[in-house]
Amino acid sequence: MAPRLGIFLLWAGVSVFLPLDPVNGDQHLPGRFLTPAITSDDKCVFPFIYKGNLYFDCTLHDSTYYWCSVTTYYMKRWRYCRSTDYARCALPFIFRGKEYDSCIKEGSVFSKYWCPVTPNYDQDRAWRYC
């Protein structure tokens, strides 16, 4: 009985971990892994609109990796973000009616330096940590 149980457990374990269909790097993977629909020369456009939301920076929305649209209105033209694509601080900027020319801690819940990515935080409320 013990040898048969051991063989069954080995078979069951192997069956669970073997892929049913072979996958190579050229295939489109289902779900959250997408192939960018553009060339790497296209630049991110900020802000862009995706599914009715306005984005001022690269996003993880519907993806495992940060991506951006290369058109103002997302039209299935996008690419994965590189380090040079992420939003930069908009200096100087307006926060609570006052103008600042560097990152600030004021208004930060965690007392970390932050800045808006548009010139008027009061209007757009788009920001990032410095």
Q: What is the pLDDT of residue 13?
A: 46
The mean pLDDT of 91-104, rounded to a whole number, is: 95
Separation of alpha carbons 30 and 22, rounded Å? 13
**Beta strand 67-69 pairing with 98-100:** unpaired
pLDDT in tens, 98-107: 999 999 999 9
Instruction: Kindly compute the dihedral angle of the four CA atoms of residues 115, 120, 121, 125, in this order, to the nearest 10 degrees.
Output: -120
At residue 123, the pLDDT reads 92
pTM (2 decimals)? Answer: 0.61
| Domain map (residue ranges) of the chain | 33-84, 93-129
CA distance 57 to 51: 15
Q: Tell me how far apart the alpha carbons of residues 81 and 78 are, in angstroms, rounded to a whole number.
A: 9
* Region 33-84: CATH code: 2.10.10.10
Quote the CA–CA distance of 91 and 107 in Å, as a whole number. 17
Whether the predicted pLDDT of 66 surpasses 80 = yes
* Rounded Cα distance, 23 and 36, in Å: 19
Q: In the prediction, which pLDDT does 4 show?
A: 58
Q: Which fold has domain 93-129?
A: Seminal Fluid Protein  PDC-109 (Domain B) (2.10.10)
Q: What is the largest CA-CA distance in the chain?
A: 80
pLDDT of residue 27: 34
Question: What is each CA distance from 77 to 52, 102, 126, in whole angstroms?
Answer: 16, 34, 23
Please, what is the average pLDDT of the chain? 78
**Confidence (pLDDT) at 53:** 94
Looking up tokens 């990032």 gives: 128
Please tell me whether residue 100 adopts helix, strand or coil conformation.
strand
d(CA 24, CA 85): 29
Task: List, for residues 34-64, the tens digit of each pLDDT value.
Answer: 555 555 578 999 999 999 999 999 999 999 9
Average the pLDDT over 24-43 and give the result: 52
93-129: same fold as 33-84? yes
